[in-house]
Structure formats: structure tokens, C-alpha cells
Chains A and B, each alone.
Chain A
Amino acid sequence: MRLRIGLAILAAAGAASAAEPDPAKLAQARSLVAEAVALDRAEAAGRVPRAYAQALRENLVDGLDKLKQEPGLAGVVQAALADLRRRDTAALAALRDRLVAQERSHGRAD
């Protein structure tokens, strides 16, 4: 019985830590989403050529794709990819702000 309780506690702890994203990957995800917002706004204002916007967007999608398997990031990355494809800048900006708040709760100041 004690062994089962111990194992259950260990499993719960493992699951909790697995849900916490690595700070470096969290920072990458936040930046990629923020870059997508900046790009969308620059494109909407007519300040960047179409070929540049398309190619940079592809880079951002590739970068986010690589983070899909990261613990604690899967949901937000999927949402970001969907918003990127829909060009939903407002949703991307909200996601960015959520990621910034998450980073700050982990002690990052900027």
C-alpha cells in the first residue's frame, strides 16, 4: 500500500514537472509568436514586400513546429500555428502576452 502511494506521488510529480516548459523553449515560443505579430502588422501597413513576408512566415512556422513536442508548450504552439495560418493578429498578440506573463511568473524581467 505504501509502495503504491509512493509511486502515485512520484507519478504526479513527474506529470507536473513534465507540464512545465523549459524556460529557453518558452522564450523561443514567445519570441516567435511576437515576431509573427510584428510581421503581420508590418505587412498590413504595406511596409514589407510579399516575398519577404511569406518567407519569414514560413521560417516562423518551422520554428514553432519544432516546439510542438516541448512539454507544456504543445497547446499554445498549436494555437499559435492556427492563428498564424488564419493571420489572426489579435489572437497572436493575446497569445504573446500570455507567454510573456508566463515567463515573468518564472522570474524573467524583460
Chain B
Amino acid sequence: MGGLIEIVLGIMTAVGGFVDVSELTFAAQAGSRFGYSLLWVFALATVGIIVFGEMSGRVAAVARQPVFAAMRQRLGLGVGLFTLIASTMVSLVTCAAELGGMALVLKLAFSGEYRLWAAVSVVTLVVTVWVLPFKWIERLFGILGLAMLVYAAAAVALHPPWAEVARGLAPQFPLSAGRQDSLAYGYFVVAIASAVMFPYETYFYSSGGIEEHWTRKDLMVNRLTTGVGFSLGSLLAMAILIAAAVIFRPVHVGPQAPGTVVLEVAAPFGKTGVAFALFGMLLAFGGAAVETCLAAAYSVAQFFGWPWGRYRKPAETPRFTLAWLIAFLIAAALVMTGIEPLQLVEWSIVFSIVVLPLTYLPLLLIANDKKFMGTEANGWIANVLGWSFYVALAVAALAAIPLFVLTSGGQK
């Protein structure tokens, strides 16, 4: 019974924590510009994050190795250090975007000054991470973030053309579109894949497995959390796209801010829906800010071999503790410059996909290594899927920056 409760809570946490400010923004923009035709990218990228998420959890449980420790071993110091610097910068920019998203949501709910709400947000998150044990940090944000399910309810209540929605799940490319629309479509394909498969998710997930002292007995929890939890979370992101196609596309809205996306639930549910959406977004963005901040600290500590982990007292992990405090400070400083959260989202999306191939390569190598993994090394399905996605990500990584420049971040 206790095990079943753990599994259910793990799945609920994965669902509530799946959508962050990047997925929300790109799902809404994708739906408003291209209707349902980008749904397949969410579906395919979710398979990818399930494959790599399960692998990272399995490596944590069996080899007791988080991703960054494996990275240093497999890639060597030079490439490993480059990946550490790049991925830490991406995590910090993403953390800033999430903090900015929180400040926007608080301003929308209560009025007041954006920067003041940003300061309140970061102080609240620091206190939360300091005081709560790791498991309850995850669960607090993940379970309360389930208020985001109001978007799923809205997508159903808006009666989209389900046949067209289903057609959107088939991989496609707008062959009859003009050059600029084709380039923008390509950019959204890359951006959505990046938003769903953010590197910080595997760093955080694998480190979390070690925080929770996973062993081989937890492999089923790992499979269910990633398989069921991420799938349901992805349905939520797709619901945001579907609602945007119904509400925004006919009236030429291409949401420029997370606040506008809330209008998707205002249409069917009015003020009650808006309250649920704002509450859900606050917790979802807050959870993502914590994950990105801790992911940055985990990466640095694991790479340099420092003691780390929230399951230990701060006095036992002084450098790790300082690392996550500094990560929050840097993210807060970025927000205080007044850079728009949407701009931060664009940068984090583009640069994270460039880092992704370097993140997943050592994971694939370790997960395949029978010396570390014994009988739990990758089977042929995990290998076929893992390497296929790896090649696709490498291609996307090459295309990301040119597409970003040619389309001005999908705006042209």
C-alpha cells in the first residue's frame, strides 16, 4: 500500500511539474500560429524525455551515479567542463525565466511592482528549499501545480475539432507554406523539443533518485513516474496548444506574455478558471525555478566531487549549499535587470538544445555499460530509441541557432 501511494504521488508530482514557463509559452504560440499541426512534436519529444528520464533514473538507482558524475568520467575533463559551463548557464537563465514568470503571475493576481514580486518569489523559494526535505519540495510544487489541469479542462470545454486534433498527432511539415512560415515551423519544432527535453530535467531527476536513496527495488517507480507521469504532463502541454488554436488563432493573438495565455481558461470558466490558472502557473513556475537552481548546484558539485544533497544537513555540504544559494541570487539578478521573461525563455530554449547532445551521450554510454549496470543495462528497445533520439537532437542542435536568427525567435 505504501509503495502504491509513493507511485501515485510520484506520478502526480511529474504531471504537476511538467509544464514550465517555456512549455506554456511555446505551446500557446504554436497553437495560435499553426493550429494543431505541431501536436506531434509534443508527443514525440515526450517519448524522448521518457526514454532519457527512465535511463537517468535507472543509472541513479543501479550504478548510484548521477548524470554529471557520469559525464566527467565519459567525456573527460575538457569536454565535460565545457558541458558543465554551458548547461549551468542554461539552468541559470531558465531559473531566471521561471522567477520572472512567477513575478508576472503575482502581479496579475495582486497588482504591484514586478521587481518586488520577483524579490518575494526568490526569498520564498530559498526558505522553502532550506526548510523542506527534498521529497516534500518536489511534492509541494508538483501536487499543487496540478491546478494547471484547468487548462486541460478548458481544452475539452472549448469543443475543438477532435478529428483535426488527431491529425495533428501525425508527423507533418507544411509543404505548401511560404519560405518564412516553413522556417518558423522548423523553429517551433526545435523549440518545442527543447522545452520538453530540457537538460535540467534529467540532471534534477537523476540527482533526485540519489536524494531519495533509490535502489533496484525502485526501478518500477522510476518506469511508472517517467512513463505515466511524463505522458500525462505532456497531455497538459498539448491541451494548452489545443486551447490556443481554438481561442487565439481566429483572433490573431500570438501570446507575447504568459499572462495572455490565461485568457484560454477565462473563455469557458471565467474568474474561477483564471484563479486556478494563476495559482497553478505560480506553483508550476516555482517548482521549475527550484529544479533549475538545484540542477545547476548538483551539476557543479557532482562534477568537482563535492559532497552534495538536500538529504544531508547544510553544514555537511557547504559548497553545494552555497552553490544553490548563488544560483538563486544570479537568477534573481537577471530578473532585476528587467529583461522580459519571454526573452529569457527564448535564450534558454535555444542554448539548451545545443547542450542536449552532450548531456545525453554519457547517459547513453553509462546506461549501456554492463560493468556499471549489470542486468539492468539498456535493452535493444532503449538503445534503438535512445540513439534515434540522440541523432535527431544532434540535428536539431545544429539547426537551432540558424533558425532562431532567421525567424527572430519564431516571430517572423
Give the B-binding residues of A (Cβ under 8 A): 22-25, 27-28, 30-32, 34-35, 37-39, 42, 46-49, 51-52, 54-56, 59, 63, 96, 100, 107-110
Q: Contacts A48-B271, A55-B108 known; A31 to B251 CB distance under 8 Å?
A: no
Contact, CB under 8 Å: A38 / B253: yes
Interface residues in B80-122 (C-beta closer than 8 Å to A): 104, 107-111
Q: Which residues of B contact A24 (CB under 8 A)?
A: 407-409, 411-412
Contact, CB under 8 Å: A110 / B260: no
Give CA–CA (A109, B33) in the complex, Å.
9
User: What's the least CB distance linking A16 to chain B, in Å?
Assistant: 20
Question: What are 7 A-B contacts with C-beta separation under 8 Å?
Answer: A24-B412, A31-B256, A35-B260, A39-B260, A56-B260, A100-B252, A109-B177
- A-contact 0/1 string along B218-250, CB 8 Å cutoff: 000000000000000000000000000001110
Give CA–CA (A30, B256) in the complex, Å.
10
Q: Which residues of B contact A96 (CB under 8 A)?
A: 251-252
Contact, CB under 8 Å: A49 / B256: no
Give CA–CA (A47, B268) in the complex, Å.
9
Size category of the binding interface on chain B: 35 or more
Contact, CB under 8 Å: A52 / B108: yes
Q: Contacts A51-B111, A109-B178 known; A63 to B411 CB distance under 8 Å?
A: no
Contact, CB under 8 Å: B252 / A31: yes
Q: Report which of B249, B255, B262 forms a contact with A110, defined as CB distance below 8 A.
A: B249
Check if B270 is an interface residue, CB within 8 A of chain A. Answer: yes
Give CA–CA (A110, B260) in the complex, Å.
19
User: What's the least CB distance linking B58 to chain A, in Å?
Assistant: 43
User: What's the least CB distance linking B244 to chain A, in Å?
Assistant: 12
Contact, CB under 8 Å: A31 / B255: yes
Q: Which residues of B contact A108 (CB under 8 A)?
A: 178, 180-181, 412
Q: Report which of A23, A52, A63, A100 forms a contact with B109, defined as CB distance below 8 A.
A: A52
User: What's the least CB distance linking B11 to chain A, in Å?
Assistant: 31
Contact, CB under 8 Å: B257 / A30: no
Give the A-binding residues of B (Cβ under 8 A): 33-34, 104, 107-111, 177-181, 247-249, 251-257, 259-260, 262-263, 266-267, 270-271, 274-275, 278, 407-409, 411-412
Contact, CB under 8 Å: A34 / B266: no
* 5 nearest A-B residue pairs (beta carbon): A24-B408, A24-B411, A31-B254, A34-B253, A34-B252
Contact, CB under 8 Å: A55 / B259: yes
| Nearest neighbor of A46 in chain B, beta-carbon distance | B270
Contact, CB under 8 Å: A56 / B108: yes
Give CA–CA (A48, B259) in the complex, Å.
12
User: What's the least CB distance linking A49 to chain B, in Å?
Assistant: 5
User: What's the least CB distance linking B360 to chain A, in Å?
Assistant: 32
Give CA–CA (A56, B408) in the complex, Å.
24
Give CA–CA (A56, B259) in the complex, Å.
6
Q: Which residues of B contact A27 (CB under 8 A)?
A: 254, 411-412
Q: Which residues of B contact A56 (CB under 8 A)?
A: 108, 257, 259-260
Contact, CB under 8 Å: B178 / A107: yes
Contact, CB under 8 Å: B257 / A59: yes
Contact, CB under 8 Å: B178 / A28: no
| Nearest neighbor of B269 in chain A, beta-carbon distance | A47
User: What's the least CB distance linking A60 to chain B, in Å?
Assistant: 8
Q: Report which of B181, B251, B274 forms a contact with A52, defined as CB distance below 8 A.
A: B274
Give CA–CA (A107, B16) in the complex, Å.
40
Give CA–CA (A30, B248) in the complex, Å.
12
Give CA–CA (A23, B184) in the complex, Å.
12
Q: Contacts A35-B253, A48-B266, A51-B109 known; A109 to B271 CB distance under 8 Å?
A: no
Q: Which residues of B contact A28 (CB under 8 A)?
A: 256, 411
